Amino acid sequence: TITWYFQVVAPVPGSYAPFVHIDGAGQRLNGDHEPVEGRYPVRLWEEGDVVVDRQEIRVPANYGRGNLTIFMGFWAGDNRLDVVEGPADEVDRARVGVLPIR
């Protein structure tokens, strides 16, 4: 289970939703989802909100051992919000952690 804490510092334009990629060993787990099990979509977020979103992602046994890198961001259609702070890659994914698989 991953618990995300989002502090809303400005209104989010459009109909964005979080995406989560867990990458490793040439494979990707995809965790696109609506926050708070669909009960509080991003379009309803207001400045000053702190949104707590729990997400369960299962890593298949065939992934083997090693470190998986966790990325996240926000997307709508073909668009992603820019990552403006912190570690990120060239496709607007924030690098948020590493998941060791033993």
| Per-residue pLDDT, 90 | 92
Predicted model pTM: 0.89
Distant-in-sequence, close-in-space partners of 99: CB < 8 Å, separation ≥ 6: 22, 59, 67, 68, 69, 70
| Per-residue pLDDT, 26 | 87
Tens digit of pLDDT for each residue in 35-47? 999 999 999 999 9
Read off the amino acid at residue 80: R
Average predicted confidence (pLDDT) for the chain: 93
| Per-residue pLDDT, 30 | 95
DSSP state at residue 81: P
